[in-house]
Structures are given as C-alpha cells and as structure tokens.
Structure 1
Amino acid sequence: MKKTARSYYAPTGGLPPQTDLITDRAVFTEAYAVIPKREFSDIVASFLPHWEKTRAWIIARPLSGFAETFSQYIMEVQPGGGSDRPEPDSNAEGVLFVVEGEIVVTLHGETHRLTSGGYAFLPPASGWTLRNKGTATARFHWIRKAYEAVDGIDAPEPVFANENDIAPNPMPDTNGGWATTRFVDPADLRHDMHVTIVTLKPGAVIPFPETHVMEHGLYVLEGKAVYRLNQDWVEVQAGDYMWLRAFCPQACYAGGAGDFRYLLYKDVNRHPRLGGFGGQR
C-alpha cells in the first residue's frame, strides 16, 4: 500500500451554541461507549499537575464498568508549555501520538522532535519530559497503562517513529482495503499493549463481529463509518471516540468518500489476572 502523508482530526474546544439540539450520538452502555466529537468542549477539559500551558480531555480511565487496563487523554499544549514531570506513576508506560503541531520529548538526555503522525513509546520509570517549542498549539494523544512485568522478560525499549514513514500491513484476503500500521513488532512479548492505526478504504468492511479478550480504545482520525458495537450499529466520524469492553462484538463498514482511519489501543501478550473483581489483586 502506498504511503501517504496524513492529516488528523484534533479537537479545539469551545462550546456548542445555544441553538444546537441537545439530542446527540453520545452513549454509555455496559459493553461500549461512544463520545462524539461535539463533547470535546471547554467545560469538560482538565488541567494536570506539573503541566504548564496545557489542558487535557480525559476520554478513558480505569473505572468499574468502563476501561479496565488504560487511560487515554487528548493533550493540548500551547507554545512554551509542557512538563518536566509529566508522568506521576513510575510503573506507567505511555504512548504519544501527535495529531497537530509538534512537541519535543527528552529521554535519557536525547531530544526527539515529533510532528504530525509522530509516535513515541515511553517505558515505565524512564523520566521523560515534554515541551512545545514551536509557535503553534500542539495536540496529541497520551495513552497510559500500568506495565505488567514478567519474570525473565525485559521491559521494552523506547520507540520513536512517524506513521508517514511506515507502510501499512494489509490484512489477508482484503486486496489492501483493510490495513494496520504497526509501530512495534506484534510478536515482541516485552510489550503488553499495542497502539496501531487501522485504515479501511471506502466500502471495506471488518467482515465478522470480532469477539475477543482485548479491550479497545478507538479514536477516529479520518473519515466516517458505521460501526457495530455489541448489537447496535452506530455512525461515527472523525473526532469521535469509542471504548469497547473485552468480548464486546465489533464490526465495521467504511461508508464515506475517503479512508476511514482510527487510532487503536488494545492490551496484549499477558495472562489475565486471577482473583478479585476485574482481575485486580
């Protein structure tokens, strides 16, 4: 599949006008949630300790009946902003994906400039810092997970990449209509989470209701589609976010004029924890 420079939807805040209808596509169920792009308003943004000139939309967090394994933010950092103490949990690993502007991540004394499409995997206790040294607002996804260490397996090394430099892997028997952009080797057991980009060409489908142990966070970067979540078909577009509980059936039909693309989180490569509600010890 030919590599193409991409643009991504990024929220800018604000507030819907008083003339808008209240009726919306937002839904929260026991199996899935849909947060439409209209929900990313000023009044639901958060400010975080030790972050300067920054706000965040927290779109997933560990919560009984909701996300069990991860949290996900959309960060908005003004020029000159950032943090020298971004991650408060020494056991947390992180993934950053830039959708607008540019950021500079410093790790082990080395600086890494991430522009639109930029990806970073940050191991636990790595002491990274982040700054917006540009002249425009930077917006990026930040996915956090408590790393599940395994005896005899080292923690992963940092990874810095850009989607535009990686050729997507077509799914078998789809003629390139359905493809996945991977930033790490899926067979690398050091990793206990994957963040990838899924692309479906117009008219392409996920042709069966996937039902599996991995939970998902899906942020729509481009396009629109009809997504099956459990027994419901919902229409989604660029800027929408979906959370899917483990074993929630899912399928998709890409019905727009252009590619349908989303940033996908899933937990991988570990035994389920036993004992206690939700597998928590």
Structure 2
Amino acid sequence: MTTYAFPPGGHPDQSTSPVGTAIFTDAYAVIPAITQRDIVTSFLPGWDGTRAWILARPLSGFAETFAQYAIELSPEGGSNNPEPDMDAQAILFVAHGTAHLTLGTELHVLQPGGYAYIPPGARWTLWNRDQTNCGVHWIRKKFVPGDGLSPPEPVVTHDTDIHAVPMPGTDGAWATQRFVDPLDLRYDCHVNLVNFLPGARIPFAETHVMEHGIYVLQGTAEYLLNTDWVSVGPGDFMWLRAFCPQACIATGTEPFRYLLYKDVNRHVPL
C-alpha cells in the first residue's frame, strides 16, 4: 500500500546542525519536514488522542484564505465534533494509516490516498479505529457562496480512482489529478495532486491571484519561489501568497508529487 509524506515528529539529537532550510518571506514560506517536530504540535479542543501540526493560517498581508493542518490520530483518537466553524469546509487526504470518516449517517473507511471534501455545515466525525497511528492532511477554508449557485456536495474518493490529466505538450510528464470538476463553480477551492516525472518542469514562472499550500508527498525538485530556487523533498511544505512567481524542475529518480491547495471560482471582494 502506498503511503505519503507526513510530519516526522520526534526530536533531533544534539549532533544535528541548527542551520536549516526554513524560510519565511513576504511572498512565500518554506516549512521543511525537519522542522515539523513534536515540540511544534498543538492539541485541539474537541479532539481525543490527536495532535496537529498547523502549517498555514490566514495572515493579514500574506495568504489569507485557508488553514492547513497535518493531524496525527493515535489509536482510538479522533473527534465527534471536529470543526468549530459552521461556515468552514474541509478537505481531508490520508497519508498513512486508516481513517474512519462519517458524513451524516454514512461511514467511509479511508486508506492512504483517500480524499474527502466536506461542505460547510455538514455533520461529520473522524476516528482512528486501528492499532497504529493515522496521519491526515486537513485543509480548512471559510466557504464563499456564489450567486445563484447551490451548495457544493460532499465528495469521497481515492487518488487511484482519479485520472491524471496531462498538461498540454508534456506527454504526461506533468499531470494533475483533480478531485472535483474545475468547471463546477459550486466549489470555491480545489485541492489537487500534481505529478511530475523526473526531469519534468513547470516551464514558466506561474504568477497568479490564487494562494497555494503545497505539501510534498513524494520525490524531490528544485522549486522557484518568487526569485529564489529552493530544494524540496518529502514532507516539505510551501506556502505562497497571491502573485508569488513559481516554477519547478523535478529531480531524482522517482516522481515528484504534491498536494496543492488553491482558491478559485469567486469574484475578488472589493
């Protein structure tokens, strides 16, 4: 069974150099896996046997639309009331272990690669009923209604059921797995899996209004962030404000894959 990168936890020993690769600028942040340790976790009200790495939160003047967590559920850990904000929607992606998600009266057993979109106001629970830890990436965003549009529907699926759509002119070397239809305007954000074969690239500096959370699930790359090329690998998190230029070149011998958040499909508030 495939598993995906997740915060390593633990604590480096005294022989580890404190000179690291974490970066925070006014355009982007890089939170490398080596910094995602036990001492930076949070414990959340309403959750049992669960700790969270909070990797992104709305910051005035930076990225403002979303929060991104990595939550680790111990055996029998979880919550019957996971979301305190009734206007918030959730996207879940399982990295390792098994998560038991109830949506309304339906139970869904999510294995690594399992994805769930949970609309605002939905009744849901999340528990780990196995004897090993479960790691889940959780993205929260306050929902922005669209004029004349009905509320979005829940989606529960698995990455192996989502066809990777090649980008034009790449012969499949750069392809995106989209969990919801990009033309379905009921959804005001997308969380996709982006895939690059070794040597593939984004061949221009993307510069756009969408904010990004990018969690590297597999492989390595050189990633352009604003004016800087940064080496990234499994477990590294990149956090981009609107209009931060970005590109990448996949390195190494295995595919480079990441979980990508972006806000879409709504007018800009004035």
TM-score by length of 2: 0.98
Please tell me whether the aligned partners of residues 82 and 131 of structure 1 are also in contact (alpha carbons under 8 angstroms): yes
SS of the aligned residue for 1:55 comes to strand
Are 1:226 and 2:222 an aligned pair?
Answer: yes
Deviation string 1:80-124 (CA, Å, 9 cap, x unpaired) is 110001000000000000000011111111111111000000000
CA distance in 2, matches of 1:214, 1:73: 19
CA distance in 1, matches of 2:126, 2:264: 27
Please tell me whether the aligned partners of residues 27 and 226 of structure 2 are also in contact (alpha carbons under 8 angstroms): yes
What letter corresponds to residue 132 of structure 2 in structure 1? A
Aligned residue in 2 for 1:17: 13
Shift of 1:70: 0.1
Aligned residue in 1 for 2:128: 132
Aligned residue in 2 for 1:178: 174
CA distance in 2, matches of 1:38, 1:30: 22
Shift of 1:12: 3.2
Aligned residue in 2 for 1:209: 205
Shift of 1:11: 2.0
CA distance in 2, matches of 1:89, 1:273: 21
Please tell me whether the aligned partners of residues 205 and 253 of structure 1 are also in contact (alpha carbons under 8 angstroms): yes
SS of the aligned residue for 2:160 comes to helix
Aligned residue in 2 for 1:100: 96
Aligned residue in 2 for 1:121: 117
| Of 64-73 and 204-213, the range deviating more from structure 2 | 64-73
What letter corresponds to residue 40 of structure 1 in structure 2? Q
- Correspondent of 1:28 among 24, 41, 45: 24
What letter corresponds to residue 124 of structure 2 in structure 1? W
Shift of 1:245: 0.9
The within-5 A match list for 1:259-274 is 259-274=255-270
Aligned residue in 1 for 2:81: 85
Shift of 1:150: 1.9
Aligned residue in 2 for 1:75: 71
Segments of structure 1 that go 5 or more residues without pairing to the other structure are: 275-281
Segments of structure 2 that go 5 or more residues without pairing to the other structure are: none
SS of the aligned residue for 1:54 comes to strand
Aligned residue in 1 for 2:193: 197
CA distance in 1, matches of 2:231, 2:157: 31
SS of the aligned residue for 1:58 comes to strand
- Correspondent of 1:237 among 233, 236, 253: 233
Over the matched positions of the two proteins, sequence identity in percent amounts to 58
Shift of 1:256: 1.2
Please tell me whether the aligned partners of residues 63 and 242 of structure 2 are also in contact (alpha carbons under 8 angstroms): no
What letter corresponds to residue 140 of structure 1 in structure 2? V
CA distance in 2, matches of 1:7, 1:137: 13
Please tell me whether the aligned partners of residues 197 and 250 of structure 2 are also in contact (alpha carbons under 8 angstroms): yes
What letter corresponds to residue 9 of structure 1 in structure 2? A
SS of the aligned residue for 1:105 comes to strand
Please tell me whether the aligned partners of residues 6 and 164 of structure 1 are also in contact (alpha carbons under 8 angstroms): no
Shift of 1:6: 3.6
Deviation string 1:181-200 (CA, Å, 9 cap, x unpaired) is 11000000000000000000
CA distance in 2, matches of 1:65, 1:218: 19
Deviation string 1:23-69 (CA, Å, 9 cap, x unpaired) is 11100000000000011111100000010000000000011233210
Deviation string 1:207-242 (CA, Å, 9 cap, x unpaired) is 000000001000000000000001100000011000
TM-score by length of 1: 0.95
Aligned residue in 1 for 2:37: 41
Shift of 1:143: 0.2
Please tell me whether the aligned partners of residues 10 and 139 of structure 1 are also in contact (alpha carbons under 8 angstroms): yes
Structure 1 runs (4+) deviating above 4 angstroms are: none
CA distance in 2, matches of 1:36, 1:150: 36
Aligned residue in 1 for 2:163: 167
Aligned residue in 1 for 2:246: 250
